[in-house]
Every structure is written in C-alpha cells, then in structure tokens.
C-alpha cells in the first residue's frame, strides 16, 4: 500500500496552530471511502464524504442511489498536530498536498458542501472550474453558499470547487432569483448586488 512518508515528515514539523481544526483531503483506494471514513472517526478524527442522489434504470426497475460527489477522497478534520494516524489508516493513499506539505482546505468550502447536502438540492460532479465571477446566495436553503454561477443550456447552476483536489460539483440554482445573489470578491468578505446573468457553458459533464 502506498504511503506518503514525505508528507508525514512535514506534518511532524508543523506547529499545532497550523493544523488544529483544519480540513484536508485524504486520497483513498477505490471504493474504500466509507471504510476509511469510519476508521478515521474511530481514531477521533472528524470525516466527511458528501453524497448526491442519482437515478439508475434497469430493464425491470429504477432505483435512486446515493453516490459520492468526490470518489476517491475523504475529507478529514484534524484536532491535533500530527496527521500520521491518518496516513497509517488502511486504504489511505496520501494526504493531498503540494511541495511535500499537506494543503488545508478552506473551511468555507466544506461548509458549502454541507449546506448543499442538508438542503437536499440537486447536485452532481462536474468538470473542474476555478475561474469565473463568484456569487453568494443571500437567502433560502443555500444561504451563505459561494460559487460560480453558470448556465448550461436552460439550466442555471452554481459550481462549487475544492481547489486542493481540483474537483467541482454542479448545484441546481433554478429556484434562486437574481435578487437573492450578490457578487463576492477577494476572500469573500466584499460584496455587491448582481446585475448580470450567469456565464453560459456547454454541457460537458
């Protein structure tokens, strides 16, 4: 099994203030997400595997399945200075990072995913998109969520991205009115009313 020992060494050198209450993306072996999530929670870590509902049809029946929004990854929140127990967990490949250091995920990115999941709003994986005008939803079930507003054919969607793993999801924003949106800039603190429509995208996943 693969182990990113370089990351473990770097983690051991980091101060607790750098890691406490931080989320990280843990890459895991295929179809081992639920198992790893359970093991991490058993070890005292907080884990998160966001899902979405999808319809699957067979010749004799149809069924609604709960599928992973980010297959191959488990999000883990640390509560101490050492991540070695995460890396040593069975089926874990590595903690996602760059230049030998784990890359923390913005708390707001995880909070947005949790809000989407709680709201029951239709969502699904999509092609990664980082550039674009970011907006914040001001009211409704998705209040506080920040993403990139796009239009795919006649559907208005909000794209949320986890930059550390370069993955995005598409959230149904059909019911969100323009008056419930505001532009955000920089770290998301600045805002102004939205006066333009969503970016037009072709349907490619």
pLDDT at residue 20 in the model: 62
pLDDT at residue 197 in the model: 53
**What does the buried/exposed string (b/e) look like for 118-131 if buried means 16 or more CB atoms within 10 Å of the residue's CB?**
eeebbbebbeebee
pLDDT at residue 183 in the model: 92
CA nearest neighbour of 158 among 166, 191, 178, 72: 178
Alpha carbon distance 110, 22 (integer Å): 10
pLDDT tens digits for 93-115? 999 998 888 899 999 999 999 99
Prediction pTM value: 0.81
pLDDT at residue 191 in the model: 55
CATH code for residues 5-102: 3.30.70.940
pLDDT tens digits for 38-68? 999 999 899 999 999 998 888 788 898 999 9
- Average pLDDT for 155-167: 94
pLDDT at residue 190 in the model: 55
Q: Are 199 and 150 in contact (CB under 8 A)?
A: yes
| Percentage of the chain lying above the pLDDT 90 cut | 57
pLDDT at residue 138 in the model: 94
- Which residues have a Cβ under 8 Å from the Cβ of 60 and sit 6 or more positions away? none
- Average pLDDT for 169-185: 90
pLDDT tens digits for 10-49? 455 555 455 467 899 999 999 999 999 999 999 989 999 9
In the chain, domain spans? 5-102, 107-201
């Amino acid at each position: 099994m693969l182990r990113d020992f370089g990351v473990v060494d770097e983690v051991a050198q980091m101060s607790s203030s750098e890691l406490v209450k931080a989320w990280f993306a843990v890459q895991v072996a295929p179809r081992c997400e639920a198992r790893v999530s359970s093991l991490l929670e058993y070890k005292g870590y907080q884990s998160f595997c966001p899902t979405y509902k999808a319809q699957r049809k067979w010749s004799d029946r149809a069924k609604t399945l709960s599928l992973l929004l980010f297959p191959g990854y488990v999000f883990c929140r640390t509560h101490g200075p050492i991540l070695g127990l995460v890396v040593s967990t069975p089926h874990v490949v590595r903690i996602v990072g760059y230049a030998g250091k784990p890359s923390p995920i913005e708390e707001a990115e995880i909070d947005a995913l949790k809000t989407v999941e709680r709201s029951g709003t239709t969502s699904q994986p999509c092609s990664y998109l980082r550039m674009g005008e970011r907006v914040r939803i001001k009211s409704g079930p998705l209040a506080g969520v920040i993403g990139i507003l796009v239009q795919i054919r006649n559907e208005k969607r909000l794209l949320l991205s986890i930059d550390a793993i370069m993955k995005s999801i598409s959230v149904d924003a059909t019911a969100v009115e323009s008056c419930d949106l505001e532009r955000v800039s920089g770290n998301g603190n600045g805002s102004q009313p939205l006066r333009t429509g969503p970016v037009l995208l072709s349907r490619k996943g």
